[in-house]
Structures are given as C-alpha cells and as structure tokens.
Structure 1
Amino acid sequence: MSLDELETLSLASELSPTSRTRLANLATIVAWPPQSLLFREGECHRYIYWIQQGRVRLEMSGTGGGAMAMLTVGPGDLLGWSALLGDQRMTATAITATATTLIALDADALQQLCDENHEIGYKVMQMIAKSISKRLLATRLQLLDLFQPPMASVDE
C-alpha cells in the first residue's frame, strides 16, 4: 500500500514518517461490493480494517435467532478490532451497506508491529478505544430509545 493511500487515515497523520512506512508495508487495499459479508459474529477473523470509503452495517444476533442492525460505520472507522484483543472472535457481523473500500491489516502482524513500535501501538490502541467508545454510546442511545414511554396520541 502506498503512503498516499495510508494518509486517508487520521492515524497516519499522527505517526512519524518511519512509522507510517512500517504501517503501510502491512496494509492492503480491498474493495467489496454492496451486501458483502466481511465477517460473522462468533467467527475467528484475522484482519482488522479501516474504512477508506463506503458504509458497513454491524449486526448482532437477537434472542429470537434473527440479526439486529446495531450500528452503521463509515470512512475512518475501525472494523474487526477484536482480532487484536484476544482470541480473534468477532463480536458482530459486518456487511457492506454500499460499495466499500477497506484498508486491511493482518492482526498478528499488526500486533507484532505494535509490540515493537510503541508509537504505533499507542496510536492503534487509541483508535480502538475511540471505536469502542463510539459503539458503547450507540448502544446507550438505542437502550434509551427502547425504554422511552410510548408517545401519547394527539386524540387522547
């Protein structure tokens, strides 16, 4: 992947030139058409992605066996961060909502790079924390909406 393509990530602008080059050497650009399955909840997945363009719908299994859309993410957002934090099991299913271009990195190689280069490791973990925070806020807002009392009808 070229450094110019990597520059589309906010992460890259915060790294030294040497660190940007090391990160770019791990990255690959992948394009997906709409309605493509990127990964499924519960499956092991070895890649972490940054969305360069497009939108991806994140779904989780519901109690009735069906999937519920939880959040739609777009350019600059992170996908598959679970691959860096443990057994690589995905916590949601990811399906492209539109034609989507992703920057893909092998999670094991990125983990090794983060261990070797603390500048990159710190910035990657900051991005993961922001992603988790965004998803936690989306969940809280959905719960607030779920527990809102029904609106009274104008006729009452």
Structure 2
Amino acid sequence: MTSATTMNTALEPVYRERLMDLAREVSFEAGTRLFEEGRRADRFWIVRTGTVSLDLHVPGRRPAVIETLGHGELIGWSWHFQPRLWHLGAEATSPVRAWEFDAESVRTMCAADPEFGRAIAVWVGRVVAQRLHASRIRLLDLYAPYGSGGLT
C-alpha cells in the first residue's frame, strides 16, 4: 500500500467528507467473493478493517492473487471507466468491515462538481497505476523465467 492511494491521504478533507456522505457500512465474512472479473462494476468499497485479496483469472489454474488490500484502501476502480466491468476478482481473506459506495451516485456527484470529479479521478488513477504495477510484478513472479523480471 502506498500512502498516495489511501483515501485519507489522496483526497482533500472537503472531498473526502462529500464522498463519505454516500457511504454505507457493510461487512463480509472471510471467503466472501466481493466481485468476479468480467462482471458489472456498480459499486466500490474502502476497507475499514480486515483484508481483501485481488485475483486474476488464469485459465487452467487457480486465480493468481495479485495484491492484498487493507485499512483505508480502495477496493474496485472499474466502476469509474467504461465498460464498467471488473478487471480482477476480489475475496475477503479475513472478516472485513468496509464502507460501500454506489458507483452511479458517485459518478453523478463527479459530473455535478468538476473539482470533486477531478479529485476522484486522480485518486482512482493513482490506484489503477499502483494495481497495474502490482499485477505486473506478481505475474512476472509467477510465470516469467527466473531473473527476467528484474527492474532496471
């Protein structure tokens, strides 16, 4: 986790408060699938307690765990971009308490207030970049020949 991607550090307090006005408290038992790759992305979460693993479908194998998310981290960014389908899967790896957000309501707020929309877009963009990097590293760890994944 990088501090630039957690809600508390990525969003200015005024935007964080506006977003939290839409929050709904939810909880998930360990082993609960939050979403599946390729399905409709209509909500997102911010972890309060517990951990959630992000995984990638690999044909003929078990899903590859890409990253594990915890306190303050955004679960789900696919809701923000067309075609609004999940790019990964997610599963609670421990009991999770989270804030849940309806994606359409957040997108409506973003459209009504361009500064709020820009703040959300920058936050989500940072998360996407970090997840892409984590996915690349994890897939190189799993499938590349030894020594081929070194970063220079």
**CA, structure 1 residues 12+135, in 2 after alignment: closer, same or farther (shift >3 Å)?**
closer
The answer (yes or no) to whether the contact 1:9–1:52 under 8 Å persists in 2 is: no
- Partner residue, 2:12: 14
SS in 2 for 1:98: coil
In the alignment, is residue 82 of structure 1 matched against residue 82 of structure 2?
no
Instruction: With the length of structure 2 as denominator, give the TM-score of the two structures.
Output: 0.80
- Select the residue among 48, 62, 80 that pairs with 2:58: 62
1:93-129 residue CA offsets vs partner (Å, 9 max, x unmatched): 1100111111111111100101112232122112211
Which of 41-50 and 106-115 deviates more? 41-50
In the alignment, is residue 93 of structure 1 matched against residue 74 of structure 2?
no
1:69-109 residue CA offsets vs partner (Å, 9 max, x unmatched): 12111112212210121132111111001111111111111
| Structure 1 unaligned blocks of 5 or more | 1-7, 151-156
| Structure 2 unaligned blocks of 5 or more | 1-5
In the alignment, is residue 130 of structure 1 matched against residue 129 of structure 2?
no
**CA, structure 1 residues 13+45, in 2 after alignment: closer, same or farther (shift >3 Å)?**
closer
**Ranges of 4+ aligned residues in structure 1 off by more than 4 Å:** none
- Structure 1 distance, partners of 2:10, 2:57, is 34
- Structure 1 distance, partners of 2:86, 2:11, is 28
The answer (yes or no) to whether the contact 1:48–1:84 under 8 Å persists in 2 is: no
- Partner residue, 1:4: none
- Select the residue among 92, 100, 104 that pairs with 2:100: 104
Task: Indicate the percent of aligned positions where both proteins have the same amino acid.
Answer: 26
Task: Look at both structures and tell me which one has the larger radius of gyration over its CA atoms.
Answer: 1
Instruction: With the length of structure 1 as denominator, give the TM-score of the two structures.
Output: 0.78
Q: CA deviation at 1:40?
A: 0.9
RMSD: 2.3
- Structure 2 distance, partners of 1:98, 1:32, is 8
**CA, structure 1 residues 30+86, in 2 after alignment: closer, same or farther (shift >3 Å)?**
same
Q: CA deviation at 1:144?
A: 4.2
